[in-house]
Amino acid sequence: MAGYRMDRTGEDIMRELTAILRTVKDPRVTAGLISIVRVDVTRDLSYATVYVSAMDGLDAAKSAVKGLTSAAGYMRRELGNALKLRHVPELHFVADDSIAYSARIAKTLSELAKDVEKEENDHE
């Protein structure tokens, strides 16, 4: 049952941080399309690891992590106001390149589909 609570709390934190992300005024955060991919919460709910990805790649995500780290106090306070938790977890941000990676995969798949379609039309 404890695992379910941690998963549910992680999803709640992810949802609220996504909303709070829009209010952060740091130019490193607002420069590109930033998305929170996943939130892992420790068993005692004292720490939350937030995985951040950017459409522009890993370098943009690393820059956004620096901005988010400097705004962590603000985000933690807003998170405490939004969620009724006894203890608001300390936020640690980690850069992730999953959005750029999935965009590359989608582009490769669409190119392969075009090649297959072209070969089918050539054989007819």
Rounded distance between C-alpha atoms, residue 43 and residue 21, angstroms: 25
CATH class of 2-97: alpha beta
Instruction: Identify the DSSP state of 39.
Output: E
Sign of CA dihedral 86, 47, 67, 105: negative
Domain layout of the chain by residue ranges = 2-97
Assess whether pLDDT exceeds 80 at residue 119.
no
What pLDDT, in 10s, does the model give residues 73-89?
A: 999 999 988 888 788 89
For 6-61, the pLDDT digits (tens) are 778 888 889 999 898 888 888 888 777 888 888 998 888 889 999 998 888 788 88
Alpha-carbon distance 55 to 103, whole Å?
8
Helices (H), the chain: 2-21, 27-30, 58-70, 72-82, 98-123
Q: What is the pLDDT of residue 47?
A: 92
**Residue 1 confidence (pLDDT) above 50:** no
Beta bridge partners of 90: 47
